[in-house]
Amino acid sequence: MNEKPIIQARDLKKYYSIKEGLFFKRTSTLKALDGASFSIKPGETFSVVGESGCGKSTLARLITMIERPTFGDFEVDGINAVTSDPAAMKALRERVQIVFQDPYGSLNPRKKVGAILEEPLLINTGLNAEERREKALAIMDKVGLRREQYSRYPHMFSGGQRQRIAVARALMLNPSLVVADEPVSALDVSVQAQVLNLFMDLQDEMNLAYLFISHDLSVVRLISDHVMVMYLGRPVEQGEKAVIFENPVHPYTRALLAATPHVDRKDRTQRILLTGEIPSPLNPPPGCTFHKRCIHMTNICKEAVPEFRSVGGRMVTCHHAEKFC
């Protein structure tokens, strides 16, 4: 059965006005996100990868409706999340929940686990105290927390256990989509595997969709169905996981994958060294924003912005993408 997308995003852009100069007389435009389009169906994981500052977390804030896009729009369960009235927006926010990166900073240290889990129900539902408690305990069971931990404070838990609490909180309102913003990057490697397995088990059990944000390509390869690689606010390559990982065509994607460590020698590729610094998003270079760091750069890369086009079964922004297929 061809299921309808939970999220349908169209050319999402987020610009900020930045005051610069003496007495802040000059205003510049920061293009934090500059044109992202994608869809996510139930049970799918759509991953967004790229270096720090590429726009991943900006996209997360838009999809969770913390901020509004400057241009473009998106739908949640077929309802426009940009133009809807406040009552509809409140209902949509219940359908999209987020798990933050830092398991230590995302939980209120003054509240017990039970109160943290019940808070979304207290705000958004009419359940009584006993019903809220039973639902919180049921979710704790799902994420591998013991019921006697209901009355403990966050400081009494390890990092992995705290992230399980954060996942449980995100599930309290039965969302369609969970946005996971670097959910395992602050955890030990051994704990990362446990939390990732939890994400995948919950997805199978509840048919959840994930917007998974990460800079770790080994994690993305494990958990994803579709991947979008971003650079300086723009998607540069987007497609199914197998297509992106087995035959990347954008030079930036190729460099990221070549830098990923592999235990098996046969999986290793020659490392591609990126020269230079990431340009300032306040003053991006003309043409292709990657051209100053690209070893395949030609004159057209300096002059013309590449279109986001279909090449070899994926979407890519590169003038010379065909040479890598």
**Contact between 100 and 181 (Cβ < 8 Å):** yes
> Looking at this protein, which amino acid is placed at residue 95?
R
Residue 266's pLDDT is 53
Which position has the token pair 């996971």? Answer: 180
Per the domain annotation, does 212 fall within a domain? Answer: yes
HSE of 92 in the Cβ direction (CA atoms, 13 Å)? 23
In the chain, DSSP finds a helix count (H) and a strand count (E) of 10, 12
**Contact between 288 and 307 (Cβ < 8 Å):** no
**Contact between 239 and 227 (Cβ < 8 Å):** yes
Q: At what angle do helices 159-171 and 113-124 cross, to 10 degrees?
A: 20
In sequence order, the 6+-apart residues with CB closer than 8 A to the CB of 48 are: 56, 59, 211, 212, 213, 214, 227, 228, 230
Burial of 251 (0-12, 13-18, 19+ CB in 10 A): buried
Q: Which DSSP string do the residues of 85-117 spell out, in sequence order?
A: -HHHHHHHHHHEEEE-S-TTTSS-TTS-HHHHH
Could you tell me the CATH number of the domain that includes residue 118?
3.40.50.300
Please, what is the Cα angle at 138 between 133 and 144, to 5 degrees? Answer: 125
CA dihedral 158, 164, 170, 176 (to 10 degrees): 150
> Which token pair is 147?
């019921």
Q: Beta-carbon neighbour count of residue 166 at 10 Å?
A: 24
Between CA 207 and CA 176 the distance in angstroms is 8
Residue 24's pLDDT is 66
Residue 105's pLDDT is 87
Residues of the chain with pLDDT under 70: 1-2, 21-24, 261-273
Q: What is the pTM assigned to this prediction? A: 0.92
Per the domain annotation, does 1 fall within a domain? Answer: no
* Domain with 162 in it: 7-324
Dihedral sign from CA coordinates of 72, 76, 81, 85: positive
Between CA 62 and CA 13 the distance in angstroms is 9
Per the domain annotation, does 2 fall within a domain? Answer: no
Between CA 36 and CA 243 the distance in angstroms is 19
In order of 86, 90, 291, 294, the CA distances from 80 in angstroms are: 12, 12, 36, 38
Between CA 67 and CA 131 the distance in angstroms is 32
Between CA 276 and CA 51 the distance in angstroms is 14
Between CA 241 and CA 227 the distance in angstroms is 6
Residue 1's pLDDT is 47
Structural domains in the chain (count): 1
Instruction: Note the pLDDT tens digit of each residue in 284-303.
Output: 899 999 998 998 899 999 99
> Which token pair is 172?
């309290």
